[in-house]
């Protein structure tokens, strides 16, 4: 079973920031938080990952709470092309694999 | 271009036939993975390989088989023992077991 809990769906207005929450209350000290997204009928796309510090790249920012029990993926200026299912995954590494739950279906509205 | 190539994109087979899905990567990644996705569902792990000539079963390996004879290739065979083979199949690879995985564009298999 997935170790994360995400809302099933969210809406966001185009041009606004999209904030996608994820709960991972049972996360272990050596587990990273990964975010992927999947646009309909395509393979998942890697977005970002982090351990305990906040991370930012050209696609998004990842904010991890100090206790590491939850995180938020931020798309700073959502566009229609960001409409997708977003998956939050926790994973340690060797011997573990990416466990994908149902994710959050983000709809960016014009 | 570097990446992961799955072929074909769409595949149709008759019930009772084995079918092999191709996955090739030129990223020099050690680890490779096969996932299955059913409509409206998340991904489920079928098999994974951390290194050449080694692979392990995932959560739903029954009715599937794999080989990893070359670093760049990880073909998946869907056998007639798989009860519900119609699904979207995704291959992924990562530098090693500690890093992010990158996915191919998938093969949609329909068994009639």
pLDDT tens-digit series, residues B82-106: 989 999 999 999 998 778 889 999 9
Cross-chain CB nearest to A44 (options B48, B103, B108) = B103
CB contact under 8 Å between B97 and A96, yes or no, is yes
Q: Mean of the per-residue pLDDT values for chain A?
A: 92
A101 neighbourhood in chain B, CB within 8 Å: 42
State whether residue A7 is helix, strand or coil: coil
C-alpha distances out from residue B15 to A94, B12, B112, Å? 37, 10, 6
CB contact under 8 Å between A42 and B100, yes or no, is no
Q: What totals of helices (H) and strands (E) does chain B contain, helices first?
A: 0, 11
Q: What is the pLDDT of residue B70?
A: 97
**For the residues A26-44, what does the mean pLDDT come to?**
91
Confidence category of residue A2, pLDDT binned at 50, 70, 90:
low
Residue A39: count of CB within 10 angstroms of its CB: 13
State whether residue B108 is helix, strand or coil: strand
pLDDT at B13 over 70: yes
Confidence category of residue A95, pLDDT binned at 50, 70, 90:
low
| % chain A with pLDDT above 90 | 75
A99 neighbourhood in chain B, CB within 8 Å: 45
CB contact under 8 Å between B41 and A102, yes or no, is yes
Nearest-Cα distance to chain A for B48, in Å, is 8
Cross-chain CB nearest to B102 (options A46, A102, A103) = A46
Cβ-proximal residues to B30 (8 Å cutoff; 6+ apart), any chain: B50, B51, B52, B71, B94, B95, B96, B97
Question: Is B43 at the interface with chain A, CB within 8 A?
Answer: yes
**For the residues B38-46, what does the mean pLDDT come to?**
88
Question: Is B75 at the interface with chain A, CB within 8 A?
Answer: no
pLDDT at B29 over 70: yes
Q: What is the pLDDT of residue B20?
A: 95
Cross-chain CB nearest to A101 (options B4, B42, B103) = B42
């Amino acid at each position: 079973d997935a170790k994360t809990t995400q809302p099933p769906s969210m809406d966001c207005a185009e041009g606004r920031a999209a904030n996608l929450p994820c709960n991972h209350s049972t996360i272990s000290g050596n587990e990273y938080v990964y975010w992927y997204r999947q646009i309909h009928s395509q393979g998942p796309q890697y977005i970002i990952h982090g351990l305990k510090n906040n991370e930012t790249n050209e696609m998004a920012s990842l904010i991890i709470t100090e206790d590491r029990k939850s995180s938020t993926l931020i798309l700073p200026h959502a566009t229609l092309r960001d409409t997708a299912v977003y998956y939050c995954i926790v994973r340690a590494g060797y011997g573990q694999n990416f466990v994908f739950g149902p994710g959050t279906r983000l709809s960016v509205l014009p | 271009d570097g990446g992961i190539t799955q072929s074909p994109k769409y595949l149709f087979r008759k019930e009772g036939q084995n079918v092999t899905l191709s996955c090739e990567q030129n990223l020099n990644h050690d680890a490779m993975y096969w996932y299955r996705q059913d409509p409206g569902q998340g991904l489920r792990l079928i098999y994974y390989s951390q290194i050449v000539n080694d692979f392990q079963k995932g959560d739903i390996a029954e009715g599937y088989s794999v080989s990893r004879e070359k670093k760049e290739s990880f073909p998946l065979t869907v056998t007639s023992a798989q009860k519900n083979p119609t699904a979207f199949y995704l291959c992924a690879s990562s530098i090693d077991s500690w890093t992010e995985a990158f996915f191919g564009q998938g093969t949609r298999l329909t068994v009639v």
